[in-house]
Amino acid sequence: MQGVSLQIIQVVIPITMFGLMFGMGLTLTLADFNRLLSVPKAVIIGLLLQLIALPAIGFALSMGFELATMLAVGLVAVAACPGGTVSNILVHMGKGDTALSITLTATATLVTLFTLPIWVNAALATFGESASTVEMPILKTALQLGVFTILPVIIGMFSRLHWPVLIDFEPKISKLSTAAMIVAFITVTLMDENDTLSSATALFVPATIYVVAALVLGYGIPRISGLDRRVSSTVAVETSLKNILLSMFVATNTLNSVEAAYASVVIGTLMLPVAIGVMVAFNMSAKREARMADEAA
């Protein structure tokens, strides 16, 4: 992942992330976040799934399928990553609980700075010959989180408060930014296809099982816990859509292994359609319930 593809990751995606988060900020008020303080169950469930349950599943799949060292470590790294900015956008555009999505992404990302190295080191010790310590760029990651997630949301909320007319531009900002991010992701994937295809095939089955498990647990556990479909769908998107950029960074910069990034490419390809399907199903269910309510009235 050198040259142009690296430039895409380092330049295009951060810019689109900023635009996307600003657009979401235009739709939010402080009431969206204050409401979460009274219903912490969804946040706790989402964090436990992302930080403990899913990494454990990735670990078990790597062991069960006897993956090569760096393929196994890469799968565990992806599983141990938090939800990404794309999940916030998808939830927002799918009319899910945007405030919950942002809270889960931001909180999980901060905690992951400490949990991710633990999972990666455990994978190295279990599947490889070396158990060298992984040093996460804590300050850099925290700064990136603030600059490209928290800051633009704050700016968007501030802009909504002082210039309400900007709310009308939010759909265009979100759609344009989303399109740019998708193009950037597809471009990087296509540029790396020839290098990853042969080794990535070994990851297809375990990666598919992982994504399905993330979906089932992400939706099922909240529903069993008594949360509604909107919240459960939001948690499911958060567990299904991982921060692929972070897992790629760990693979290529921390582990200095392109092979460890294969899991990011494979899971990244599988997870987006699944997450989109979650929000489509939620919207169809919501419309059906609304229609039945109108007929009953």
Q: 296 lies in a domain?
A: no
Q: What is the mean pLDDT of residues 218-244?
A: 92
The predicted structure's pLDDT at residue 88: 80
Q: 297 lies in a domain?
A: no
Per the structure, the count of domains in the chain is 1
- Mean pLDDT for all residues in the chain: 79
Q: 295 lies in a domain?
A: no
Q: What is the mean pLDDT of residues 156-163?
A: 89
- How many whole angstroms separate alpha carbon 27 and alpha carbon 156? 8
Q: 139 lies in a domain?
A: yes
Q: 285 lies in a domain?
A: yes
In this prediction the pTM is 0.74
Q: 13 lies in a domain?
A: yes
The predicted-structure confidence for 274-290, as pLDDT tens digits, reads as follows 999 999 888 888 778 76
Task: Give the residue with greater pLDDT, 50 vs 125.
Answer: 50
Q: What is the span of the domain harbouring residue 193?
A: 3-290
CB 49 within 8 A of CB 218: yes
Which tokens is 87 given? 């999940």
CB burial string 54-85: b at 16+ within 10 A, e below: bbebbbbbbeebebbbbbbbbbbbbbbbbbbb
Residue with structure tokens 């219903």?
39
The predicted-structure confidence for 181-222, as pLDDT tens digits, reads as follows 667 656 665 665 555 556 668 889 999 999 999 999 999 999
Q: 265 lies in a domain?
A: yes
Does 131 have pLDDT greater than 50?
no
The predicted structure's pLDDT at residue 104: 85
CB 121 within 8 A of CB 134: yes
The predicted structure's pLDDT at residue 213: 96
Residue 19 sits in a domain of what CATH number?
A: 1.20.1530.20
The predicted structure's pLDDT at residue 178: 66
CB 244 within 8 A of CB 84: yes
Q: What percent of the chain has pLDDT over 70?
A: 76
